[in-house]
Structure 1
Amino acid sequence: MTATAPGGAEDTAADRFLAQLQAFEGRPAATTGQGKDPVNEAMIRHWCEAMGDANPAYTGPDAIAPPTMLQAWTMAGLSGHSARSGAYDELLGLLDGAGCTSVVATDCEQEYLRPLRPGDTVTFDAVIECVSPRKTTRLGSGHFVTTRMDIRVGGELAGTHRFRILKYAPAAPRPAGPPPAAPSRRPERPRRPRPVVNRDNQGFWDGVRDHRLLIQRCASCATLRFPWLPGCNACASLDWDTVEACGEATVFSYVVMHHPSFPAFDPPYAVALVELAEGVRMITNITGVPYDAVRIGTPVRLEFLRVDEDQELPVFRGEAEG
């Protein structure tokens, strides 16, 4: 029995192509891979220095590797990995042939199941987990491809790493020439990019919805942390609760964005790293004062800014001088 797509022959061809792409789901993207170096103290030290992470758990005779280094031990470098499968290359080739010749990484998720220690030899396998229907983005239209890598030590699963890319056909550039005639009604303002909400930060966005700025607090050592993380970067505990910020802060550092111009943003505007009264810092917009009046040390106060019909964001308002 043959199904007929509502849109006719064009939709049927698209459906057939999607089925061809999704036939790759479950096929290997990499097999029997091995890290090029064992987990080692030098790499851990470099990582921690770059990240500014002085957690004592990452040094000394009982050191573990920072969990977020999970992917670092599997990376191929310039010489590549022999573990990469032909199926993944074939999938990307099909997308190239359909005009989806550009690629951008969109997001990744990691799950940590076992600490990695200096001397561990990492092995890994990867599978093509999901190919999305064709999606249209501002960059162009194409398909999201998600791979899942299972990382093991001595056969024991140490963690998983999901990595998602968009293979897309670039959107056509706007034609040169005079601007189009003014529309009869005011055009709808472009919406701001949506934040990525996942299981690690859902509580933060729930707080924003209720006009509360919530900071994670470790249930073991009471260290506050922001942005939200799965575990404490001071004692590695996975248990946490929250405290509500009082709303007072000062500008710790800032930049003024002049270009490039993005839809839904009106440059120039100030983007600041503010230090909350509780001691943590966050990146935010500064409202209430001109962009060129923002200074390091400027006191600011929390407010919630509605940027479109379904998105509200925490920002900080400075007081204009009288």
Structure 2
Amino acid sequence: MNDVSDLYTQARTWVGKQATRPTTARDPVNVPMVRRWCEAMGETNPIFVDADAARAEGFAAPVSPPAMMEVWTMAQYRPGGRLKDDSIPVLELFDNAGYTGVVATNIEQEYDRYLVEGDTVSFTAVVDDVSEEKRTGLGIGHFVTIRYEFTDQNGEPVGRMLFRVLKFKPNLAQAPAPAVADDAAKPAFPHPRPAITHDNAFYWEGIARRELLIQKCSGCGELRHPPGPACPHCHSLEWDTVKASGKATLYSHVVMHQPRLPTFDYPLPVLLVELEEGVRMVANGIDLPADKLAIGMKLDLDFIEIEPGYLLPAFRPSR
């Protein structure tokens, strides 16, 4: 049996077994955490933060947004990574075999009821599936699916989740040679390209003209980003666009260290900016090293030409 099939066979033995230890949330559902999540997500439904509004809808207390179900049980952040007890052995199996890259590919959640203030959430996790080796744009790899079952403090089901990741090896063997014969030169890996659809084609056409276009609902006038087929406020399918001024504020940011993908420099700052028009977007920075980032700093729109004819929006410190 070759190494590839042997690895796959070993990984398949985990299907149906516990993926990681059962976990209980460190904190019960509470309004302060819900409020901050809603502010970050732009959620304005009052039943999540206001007791009177919640009671008017038949709830005994404010409820948690359904999409927060997993948030309550997230592991504590540790600079050194997960504790051994929190590890996921089937993923470590691929790490040890050289499949060190990881990227989340999709998530499916189902909800049985709203979580109410005071609920304490727990989960159990089982390996649901491991795919055969696949060749992807990131490199060869395996898709690993984990099924989570969520319960409340009484052991009653409140929801479930399927979470799928790709564990991969960057396809270095097929990468083109460096453009310059220099020890410090980087291989000319192709930069990831966006998936252009009917809904977002206008956005990328604008970027190619060095314009940042924001989708505007023709029904209620609300601006939205990223682009979508329907207005989340009034559900109208009719829309137009407005050109952004280019003025923005740094709303938040993260600095990525892993996974390390070709074409990117690490540590990699990723910005969440709030445009002058009120919508937020994720973007790259220019002349913005990680140690110079400050929430609230003023930014100006610019564009980076990644490859001839391929531009990305980016933001630099305001002049």
TM-score by length of 1: 0.54
CA contact (8 A) 1:25 1:128 kept: yes
Cα pair 2:149 2:160 within 8 Å, conserved: yes
The residue identity in structure 1 corresponding to 2:10 is Q
Deviations 1:117-156 (A, max 9, x none): 2123334332223334456899986544332323345644
- Answer whether contact 1:214 1:243 (CA < 8 A) is retained: no
2:50 to 52, 60, 82: 60
Aligned partners of 2:162 and 2:216: how far apart in 1?
24
Aligned counterpart in structure 2 of residue 252 of structure 1, from 245, 248, 252: 248
CA deviation digits over 1:18-65, x for unaligned, max 9? 23323433433257654344322243245456x375733321211222
Work out the CA distance in 2 between the residues paired with 1:203 and 1:215. Answer: 13
What's the counterpart of residue 72 of structure 2? 73
Alignment partner of 1:109 is 2:107: yes
5 Å-filtered alignment, 1:1-322, equals 12-30=2-20, 33-48=23-38, 51=40, 53=42, 55=44, 56-61=46-51, 62=54, 63-77=62-76, 88-89=88-89, 91-92=90-91, 94-95=93-94, 97-100=96-99, 102=100, 104=102, 106=104, 109-111=107-109, 113=111, 114-134=113-133, 143-153=142-152, 155-160=156-161, 162=163, 164=165, 166=167, 189-195=188-194, 204-208=199-203, 213=213, 215=215, 217=217, 223-227=222-226, 239=235, 241=237, 243-253=239-249, 279-284=278-283, 315=313
In 1, Cα distance between equivalents of 2:181 and 2:162: 49
Q: How many residues align?
A: 268
Aligned mates of 2:229, 2:150 — CA distance in 1: 19
Tell me the distance in 2 between the aligned counterparts of 1:77 and 1:141.
31
Give the aligned residue type for 2:109: E
- Which 5+ residue runs of structure 2 have no aligned equivalent? 55-61, 208-212, 251-256, 289-296
1:316 Cα deviation from its structure 2 partner: 8.3
Whole-angstrom distance in 2 between the partners of 1:216 and 1:252? 18
User: Please, what is the CA RMSD of the aligned residues?
Assistant: 5.7
Q: Is this contact kept in 2: 1:32–1:83, CA < 8 A? A: no
**Could you give the per-residue CA deviations for residues 66-102 of structure 1, whole angstroms, max 9, x where no partner exists?**
34422222234489999979xx53x3454355355x4
Gaps spanning 5+ residues in structure 1: where?
Answer: 1-8, 173-178, 255-259, 318-322
* Per-residue deviation, 1:252: 1.7
CA distance in structure 2 between the partners assigned to 1:66 and 1:297 by the alignment: 32
Aligned residue identity for 1:38: P
Which is greater in Rg? 1
Contact 1:252 1:296 in 2 (8 A): yes
In structure 1, the residue corresponding to 2:128 is in which secondary structure? strand
The residue type equivalent to 1:205 in the other structure is N
Aligned in 2, Cα 1:117/1:132: closer, same or farther, shift over 3 Å?
Answer: same
TM-score (norm 2): 0.55
User: Which amino acid is 2:226 matched to?
Assistant: P
User: 1: CA distance between counterparts of 2:229 and 2:15?
Assistant: 29
Structure 1 CA distance, aligned partners of 2:276 and 2:169?
44
Report the secondary structure of 2:116's partner residue.
Answer: coil
Distance 1:312 1:253 in 2: 25
* Distance apart, 1:14 and its partner CA: 1.7
